[in-house]
Amino acid sequence: MMKSSWNQKSGDIVSLAVLLLGALIVLLPLLVVFFTSFAPSGATPDMMPKSWSLGNYQDAWARGKFLLAFANSTLVAIAVTAFQLITSALAGYALARLKFRGRQAILLVVLATLVIPFQLLVIPIFLVLKWGHLINTYGALILPTAVNGFGIFLLRQYFQTIPVELEEAATIDGANRLQILWRVLLPLARPALVTLFLFTFIAEWNDLFKPLVFTTRPELRTVQLALAEFQEQFTNNWPLMMAAVTIATVPVMILFLIGQRQFIRGIATTGMKN
């Protein structure tokens, strides 16, 4: 008994040490970026700068014109996320609960879209946007990713884990399909919704491809496009570049830390029932 307990504790200690080592390896580049951002302008990357200053952040914010970029990225990310939550909830519910001919074929098509890189579709999307006079507008940044196969599949799988008896009880009370979805399923699917929200918002915040291809107007610059232009201008000024990178990264890190519990729960419980 004592030997078994000791072996279990030893295994826990080894697992903890391995996890800590892995976390250190992953976080080390981020720490270098963070600490370098406080070094004097023009210094080389260093874990422990000899002097600390917030001047790089002030310069990076002003020179990179990040205020407008933050506003654009926030608008685009929130709009795309809202569209994906709505479309994924409606399509996911239909594929999970409604019985109609061709449902499995539609699900296979949705899954097939997950393996098609967005870059392969850029030319037809560009032509459609040009035909609709949406190039150099917010529509070009929002509409191409307003629907996502991952979100549809995620919510479809989560809805299938919710007992059908809850919907039957709501139907007896006189609720229709939309009322059941809004009042019964969506509150119970909060972890999956938070997971989709985080995935979508972070992906849109970090997206450089759409702003680079579909827009040329300076007033439509997003954070990642502003960061790319900033890095081209200050290639040799590492502290200034690291400050700009930190400015662009902090919002999504804070967002993930706020929603990480629901995110983990959503990932862990999705797909438990086929």
> What CATH code is carried by the domain that includes residue 152?
1.10.3720.10
Instruction: State how many domains the chain has.
Output: 1
Q: For 66-110, what is each residue's pLDDT tens digit?
A: 999 999 999 999 999 999 999 999 999 999 988 888 889 999 999
pLDDT higher than 50, residue 39: yes
Which residues constitute the domain of residue 116?
Answer: 67-269
Q: Is 54 within the bounds of a domain?
A: no
pLDDT higher than 60, residue 209: yes
Residue-by-residue DSSP string for 102-163:
THHHHHHHHHHGGGS-GGGGHHHHHHHHHHTT-TTSHHHHHGGGSS-HHHHHHHHHHHHTS-
pLDDT higher than 80, residue 49: no
Q: Is 3 within the bounds of a domain?
A: no
pTM: 0.85
Q: Which amino acid is at 167?
A: E
Q: Is 46 within the bounds of a domain?
A: no
Handedness of CA 249, 255, 258, 260 (dihedral sign): negative
Q: Is 243 within the bounds of a domain?
A: yes
Q: For 220-236, what is each residue's pLDDT tens digit?
A: 999 999 998 888 887 77
Q: Is 130 within the bounds of a domain?
A: yes
Q: Is 39 within the bounds of a domain?
A: no
Confidence at 44, pLDDT banded by 50, 70, 90:
low
Q: Is 177 within the bounds of a domain?
A: yes
Q: Is 59 within the bounds of a domain?
A: no
